[in-house]
Amino acid sequence: MPSQVIQAVVLAALSLLIAIPFGVFVAAWVGWALVCAGLVLQMIFHFRNFNRLDRWSKHPIVDNSLEGGGEWDGIFGRLYRHERDLRNEIARRSDDFDRAIAAIQALTDGVVILDTHNQIIFCNTTAEQQLGITLRIDQGQAVVNLVRQPEFVGYLMARDFSRPLTLRFDRGEERVLSIFMVPYAKGRTLMQIKDVTQSDRLDQMRRDFVANVSHELRTPLTVLAGFLETLQEIEVTPEEHRHFLALMAEQSQRMQSIVQDLLTLSSIESAPPPVNELVDMVNLLDKLRRDAEALSGGRHTIVVETDGQGDLQGSEQELVSAFGNLVANAVRYTPAGGTVRLAWQATAQGAEFVVQDSGIGIEAQHIPRLTERFYRVDRGRSRDAGGTGLGLAIVKHSLSRHQAQLEISSKPGSGSRFSARFPAARVVVV
Ligand code: ADP
C-alpha cells in the first residue's frame, strides 16, 4: 500500500481517537466536529501542496520553490531529481547537437538536408555560398525553386543517385559543382556539394594541351609524310631532291624544338625547388650578348647596360634558359636594323633583368595570354622565326620558381620590354 495512503489512514485514525472520547464524554456533535476539523486540516494541507505542485508544473524551475511537508517532500524530491536529470540530459544533447552543427559548418563541402518533398531542412554556410541561398529565408523551400537548372531538376526527379551530377554556375565567375545525393533515414536526402572548379579547369587545360601538342606535331609530320610520299612515287631531279630534303630537315628540326621545349617545361614543372648556385651576372650577360649577336647575324645592334653590381642566387641552367628565351624573342621579333638592349640592375631591395627591343611590338589584348602554352600573336610569323610557342611559358615557370615576376609592356610598331624582377632574398650585392 502506498505510504501516502497509510499516512492518511493513520491521520484519520488519530483524529478519530481524539474525537471519540469527546463524542462520548462531552457531546456527540463535538466528536463529529473534531473529526471534520481533522479532515479539513488534512484537506487544507494537501490542497496547499497540490497548489504548489500545480504552480511549479507550469514553470518547472529547479530551486526551493517546491518544498512540502511529510510525504509531499518525497514526491517533490523525486520530481526535482527527475527534472534536474532531464535538464542535464537536454543540455548534454544540445551540446552534442551544437558540436555536430559546428562540424558541418566547418566542412569545405556544401551540405543540404532535404525532406521527403525535397524541401530544405538545413544547409551549411558553404552550401549557401555555393548555391546562392540563405537558410534563414529559404528553409522549407523546395530546392528546385532555388536551383533551377534543368539537369538538376531532372536528376532529382529521376532519383538515380549512383553517379554525382556536375553543375556549372555562372555568377560573374564560372564555378563547377559536383553534387552527390545520399538518401537516408525517414525519406530525407543529404546533398553533398563539392567545388570542382579547379580540377575541372586543370582537366580542361590538360585536354587543350594534348590537343595543342598533337596539332603542333601533326603539321610538320604531315609535311614530312607528303615529301616522303612524293620522293617514293615520283622521279625528281637531283636539285628537287636536295630541296625536298632541306625542307624535310627543317620540319624535323621544328618537331625536335617542340619536343625539346616540352621536355624542358615538364622537367621544370616536376623538379624540386631550384638549387642555390651563385650566378655571376657579368658572365651571364656576356654570354647572352654573344648568343644574341650570333642569332642576329649582325642585323641588330645589341646593347648591354649594367654597372656590374649584384649576382643572383638560383639555378644557373634555368636562369640562362629563361633569359636566353627573352633575348632570342627580342632578336626574332625585331626587324633588321633594330636595337636589342639587355639591362641588369641590382640593389639591396631586389634586382631587375630587362630585355628591351625596338621590334614589332605586341597589341595590348595579347599580353596577358603570352605565357600560355602555344599562345602566339601571329602563328605564321612565330613558325617562320623558328618559335614553338612554349618559350614564354618556360620563362614564366622558371622565374616563378625563383620568386621572380615577369612584367611585359609593349607598343605595336615601337617595341617591347620584358622585365624579370627578383626579390632581395635572391640577390647578392657585395
Ligand atoms: P614563340 O616560340 O612563338 O616565340 P613564345 O612563348 O616565346 O613563343 O612567345 C609567344 C608569343 O609572344 C610569340 O609568338 C610572339 O607573338 C610574342 N612575342 C614574344 N616576344 C616578343 C617580342 N619581343 N616582340 C614581339 N612579340 C613577342
pTM over 0.75: no
The share of the chain scoring above pLDDT 70, in percent, equals 98
Looking at residue 64, its pLDDT comes to: 65
**From the CB of 152, is ligand 1 less than 6 Å away?**
no
Cell numbers placing 192? 553533398
Query: How far apart (Å, rounded) are the C-alpha atoms in residues 122 and 119?
Result: 9
289 φ, ψ to 5°?
Answer: -60, -45
Nearest CA to ligand 1 atom 3: 389
Residue 360 alpha carbon, nearest atom of ligand 1: 25
Nearest CA to ligand 1 atom 8: 389
**From the CB of 395, is ligand 1 less than 6 Å away?**
no
Instruction: Using CB atoms within 10 Å of the CB of residue 42, give its burial: 0 to 12 exposed, 13 to 18 middle, 19+ buried.
Output: middle
Give yes or no for a contact between 338 and 359, defined as CB atoms under 8 angstroms apart: yes
Give the CATH superfamily of 107-195. Answer: PAS domain (3.30.450.20)
pLDDT, tens digit, for every residue of 195-243? 999 999 999 989 998 998 998 899 899 999 999 999 999 888 999 999 9
pLDDT, tens digit, for every residue of 77-124? 888 888 889 989 999 999 999 999 999 999 999 999 999 999 999 999
298 by DSSP, 3-state: which?
coil
**From the CB of 391, is ligand 1 less than 6 Å away?**
yes
Residue 375 alpha carbon, nearest atom of ligand 1: 10
> What sign for the dihedral angle of Cα 359, 364, 370, 375?
negative
CA 89 to chain CA centroid, Å, is 39
**From the CB of 378, is ligand 1 less than 6 Å away?**
yes
Nearest CA to ligand 1 atom 4: 387
**From the CB of 388, is ligand 1 less than 6 Å away?**
yes
Pairing of strands 173-184, 165-171: antiparallel
Cα 176 to middle of ligand 1, angstroms: 33
Residue 334 alpha carbon, nearest atom of ligand 1: 24
Cα 207 to middle of ligand 1, angstroms: 23
Q: Is the pLDDT of residue 150 over 90?
A: yes
Residue 355 alpha carbon, nearest atom of ligand 1: 23
Nearest CA to ligand 1 atom 20: 329
User: How open is the CA angle 120-126-128, to the nearest 5 degrees?
Assistant: 45
Nearest CA to ligand 1 atom 11: 376
**From the CB of 370, is ligand 1 less than 6 Å away?**
yes
In single-letter form, the type of residue at position 23 comes to: G
Q: Would you identify the CATH topology of the domain 200-270?
A: Helix Hairpins (1.10.287)
Pocket test for ligand 1, best of 212, 332, 382 (most atoms within 8 A of CB): 382
Give yes or no for a contact between 303 and 340, defined as CB atoms under 8 angstroms apart: yes
Cα 79 to middle of ligand 1, angstroms: 86
Query: How far apart (Å, rounded) are the C-alpha atoms in residues 133 and 112?
Result: 11
> What sign for the dihedral angle of Cα 77, 79, 81, 84?
negative
Residue 382 alpha carbon, nearest atom of ligand 1: 3
Residue 392 alpha carbon, nearest atom of ligand 1: 6
Mean pLDDT of 306-328: 94
First to last CA, the chain: 104
**From the CB of 362, is ligand 1 less than 6 Å away?**
yes
Mean pLDDT of 332-344: 96
377 by DSSP, 3-state: which?
coil
Mean pLDDT of 285-314: 95
Mean pLDDT of 34-63: 84
Give yes or no for a contact between 135 and 119, defined as CB atoms under 8 angstroms apart: no
Confidence of residue 1 (pLDDT cuts 50, 70, 90): low
Q: Which numeric CATH code is attached to 277-428?
A: 3.30.565.10
Region(s) of the chain under CATH 1.10.287.130: 200-270
**From the CB of 177, is ligand 1 less than 6 Å away?**
no
Region(s) of the chain under CATH 3.30.565.10: 277-428
**From the CB of 376, is ligand 1 less than 6 Å away?**
yes
Instruction: Using CB atoms within 10 Å of the CB of residue 106, give its burial: 0 to 12 exposed, 13 to 18 middle, 19+ buried.
Output: exposed
**From the CB of 396, is ligand 1 less than 6 Å away?**
no
Region(s) of the chain under CATH 3.30.450.20: 107-195
**From the CB of 360, is ligand 1 less than 6 Å away?**
yes
Q: Is the pLDDT of residue 43 over 80?
A: yes
Give yes or no for a contact between 185 and 177, defined as CB atoms under 8 angstroms apart: no
**From the CB of 338, is ligand 1 less than 6 Å away?**
no
Which segment of 7-21, 25-39, 153-167, 234-248 scores lowest on mean pLDDT? 7-21
**From the CB of 382, is ligand 1 less than 6 Å away?**
yes
Q: Is the pLDDT of residue 35 over 60?
A: yes
